[in-house]
Amino acid sequence: MNNENVILAFLNKKAAQTPLRNIINGYYEYKGRTLQSNGLELINYATRIAYHENNKIYLNIKKYSSTTSHIQSKIRRLAEKNNMQVVEYSEV
């Protein structure tokens, strides 16, 4: 699954349609090249980039790498395109 599809699956909390899935706490796990999602969190390598809470998407905007920045921008764009409220925060 490519990273954009992992992001879309995370945003939509969509059930997995591929054999690359594991059920964790009632959610499906999605894996891309660097991203993975358990339905509630989106993780790039070992860093939480975004999570769902109170019908909002919380987006970690801390700078890690150019790849992570690209993923953060893609999450923001796709969430806003799907009329989801994005709350930005920075991990300490």
Q: Where are the domains of the chain?
A: 3-89
pLDDT tier for residue 24 given thresholds of 50, 70 and 90: very low
pLDDT at 85: 93
> CA-CA distance, 24 to 43, in Å (whole number)?
15
> CA-CA distance, 59 to 23, in Å (whole number)?
24
Instruction: Tell me the per-residue pLDDT of 42-54, one tens digit each, with 9 for 90 and over.
Output: 888 888 999 988 8
> CA-CA distance, 92 to 85, in Å (whole number)?
22
pLDDT at 61: 94
Q: Which two structure tokens, joined as six digits, stand for 62?
A: 């801390």
Instruction: Tell me the per-residue pLDDT of 56-86, one tens digit each, with 9 for 90 and over.
Output: 999 999 998 888 898 899 999 999 998 999 9
3-state class (DSSP) for residue 36: strand
